[in-house]
C-alpha cells in the first residue's frame, strides 16, 4: 500500500495533466461543432487503423481456407475451358455439325505428405476413391506437371512423382513441336533431363517444354519446365538436355487430379495396336 501511495505521489503531475487534457477535449467537443467533428474524425481514424490491423491479422490465419476455396474454384473453371473439350466435326452432304465433348475434368486435392530427396519419390493426396480418383490419373499443379496416381484408398491416393525413375512422361518442345521423354536421374529435385530429342533439331536455352498430349494421363500443353543447357551425344544422334522444372516440388501444396473421360477408349486402341 505504501508503494502505491509513493507511486501516485511521484507521478501525480502526469496523472493531473492527462485528466485535464481529457477534460479540455471533452469540453471543446461539446461546445464547438467543428472541433467536435475533428476530434471524432481523429478518434475514428485511430479506431479504423486498429480494426484494419486486427482484420489483417485474422485474415492471415484464415488464408488456408481461402486458398482451398480458390483451388476448388480453379478446378471447376479448368474443367470448363476449351482445352478440356475435344471438337467433333461430322461432314455429311456439305453440312458441318460441330460438337464439343468434354474430355478432361479436374479434381482438386491437397498434398498431405511428400518426399523429394529419395531416388523414387511420392506424394499422398487427401482425395481417394469416394471422390472419383482411380489409378493412372495424371496429377498437375497450377505451375505444371506433378505425377501419376498409382494407388488409391477410400479417401487418399498415392502419386508417383515425376521425381521417380519409372516416371517417363511424354513431352514436347513448345517452339519446335518435337517430342521426347522426361526422365529424372536423382539428385536435384528442381532439374530433370529430356531424352529421345533428335540432335538434328535446333534447340535454344530457355525453350519451353510442355506435355505432348500423346499419353492418356495428361492434357496437351501442361507446363513441364525450360531448357537450361544441352549438348549433342555424337554416339546416339540425340541431345542430352537439362531442364529446370516449372514446379517447386518442395513447396507443393495444392494439385489437380486429371480425369480423362476418353481414357479407356484410348488405352484399348493402344493395346490393339501393340497386339498387331
Q: Where are the domains of the chain?
A: 48-73, 170-245
Alpha-carbon distance of 181 to 197, in angstroms, equals 8
Mean pLDDT throughout 135-158? 95
Instruction: Indicate the fold that domain 170-245 takes in CATH.
Output: Thrombin, subunit H (2.40.10)
- Determine contact, residues 170/215, Cβ cutoff 8 Å: yes
Mean pLDDT throughout 185-203? 94
Q: b vs e for 127-158, b when ≥16 Cβ sit within 10 Å of the residue's Cβ?
A: bbeebebeeebbbbbeebbbbbbbebeeebbb
**pLDDT higher than 50, residue 62:** no
Alpha-carbon distance of 105 to 131, in angstroms, equals 12
pTM of the model: 0.66
Q: Between the CA atoms of 31, 34, 36 and 40, what dihedral angle is there, to the nearest 10 degrees?
A: 170
- Determine contact, residues 210/220, Cβ cutoff 8 Å: yes
The pLDDT, as a whole number, for residue 60 is 52
The pLDDT, as a whole number, for residue 91 is 37
Amino acid at each position: 500500500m505504501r508503494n502505491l501511495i509513493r507511486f501516485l505521489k511521484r507521478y501525480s503531475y502526469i496523472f493531473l495533466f492527462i485528466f485535464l487534457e481529457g477534460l479540455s477535449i471533452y469540453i471543446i467537443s461539446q461546445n464547438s461543432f467543428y472541433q467536435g467533428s475533428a476530434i471524432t474524425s481523429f478518434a475514428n481514424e485511430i479506431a479504423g487503423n486498429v480494426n484494419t490491423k486486427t482484420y489483417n491479422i485474422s485474415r492471415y490465419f484464415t488464408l488456408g481456407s481461402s486458398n482451398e476455396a480458390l483451388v476448388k474454384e480453379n478446378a471447376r473453371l479448368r474443367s470448363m475451358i476449351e482445352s478440356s473439350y475435344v471438337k467433333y466435326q461430322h461432314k455429311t452432304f456439305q453440312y458441318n455439325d460441330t460438337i464439343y465433348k468434354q474430355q478432361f475434368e479436374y479434381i482438386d486435392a491437397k498434398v498431405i505428405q511428400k518426399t523429394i530427396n529419395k531416388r523414387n519419390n511420392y506424394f499422398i493426396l487427401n482425395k481417394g476413391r469416394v471422390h472419383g480418383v482411380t489409378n493412372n490419373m495424371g496429377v498437375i499443379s497450377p505451375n505444371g506437371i506433378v505425377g501419376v496416381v498409382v494407388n488409391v484408398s477410400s479417401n487418399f491416393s498415392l502419386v508417383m512423382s515425376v521425381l521417380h525413375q519409372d516416371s517417363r512422361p511424354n513431352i514436347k518442345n513448345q517452339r519446335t513441336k518435337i517430342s521426347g521423354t522426361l526422365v529424372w536421374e536423382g539428385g536435384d529435385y528442381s532439374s530433370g533431363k529430356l531424352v529421345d530429342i533428335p540432335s538434328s533439331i535446333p534447340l535454344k536455352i530457355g525453350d519451353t517444354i510442355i506435355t505432348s498430349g500423346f499419353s492418356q494421363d495428361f492434357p496437351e500443353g501442361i507446363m513441364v519446365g525450360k531448357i537450361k543447357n544441352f549438348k549433342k551425344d555424337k554416339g546416339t544422334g540425340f541431345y542430352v538436355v537439362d531442364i529446370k522444372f516449372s514446379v517447386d516440388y518442395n513447396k507443393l501444396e495444392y494439385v489437380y487430379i486429371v480425369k480423362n473421360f476418353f481414357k479407356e477408349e484410348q488405352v484399348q486402341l493402344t493395346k490393339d495396336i501393340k497386339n498387331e
